Amino acid sequence: MQKLRLGVLGSGKGSNFRAIYEAIGVGRLDVEVAVVISDVVGAGILKLAEEAGLPTAILDEPRYKTRLSLEVEEHLVSVLQTAEVDLVVLAGYLRMIKEPLLKAFPRRIINIHPSLLPKFPGLEAWKQALEAGEKTAGCTVHYVDEGMDTGEIIVCAEVSVHPGDTAESLHARIQEAEHRLYPEAIATLTTPQSPIRNPQSYWLAFAFL
């Protein structure tokens, strides 16, 4: 069976990308990274990809902070399609995904969010959990839709909030959980039964709900 090809999008240091790539390297994840793309020049995720000898691309979007313009997102779609990407993986990508990408990759875009969704969508979710007095935080892998962290949940991992936790200490433990969970979640999508491998099975099942 042909390996799934990932297109990884990120805006920051790339720690989740590193975890995915290391999982590939030790044989825990049987996929290949087709391209790594960032909307930030000089982002750490690009440096990691370049060190690994992977193809990279930069999105030039000076007009908006939280999304891409229509033409830039259409260019992103073109880059991903040219790289023959099967699954789009958001790894610390900080812009909302809009129609061009959602239409081109239906149910083939996933994200990892540092909370137990649907609680605490948006930025700095670990701070939101701490300020709310939660005893349990965590992370969630989910499909991406047009909303902010509103897509169907694939899998979650819980992280206990310790007495005396700071935002930094809690975030660090959540990131450790993310680095375990994301490769595991992607691995579940490589099976013949997954909607990525067999999209018709999902749409047929959905039609009979």
- Active site amino acids: 113
What is the sign of the dihedral through the CA atoms of 11, 35, 148 and 115?
negative
- CB neighbour list of residue 85: distance below 8 Å, 6 or more residues apart: 5, 6, 7, 34, 35, 105
Question: Which residue type is seen at 153?
Answer: I
Cα separation of 19 and 30, whole Å?
14
The phi and psi torsions of 12 (rounded to 5 degrees) equal -130, -140
SS3 content of the chain, % helix, strand, coil (to 5): 35, 20, 45
Three-class secondary structure of residue 154 per DSSP: strand
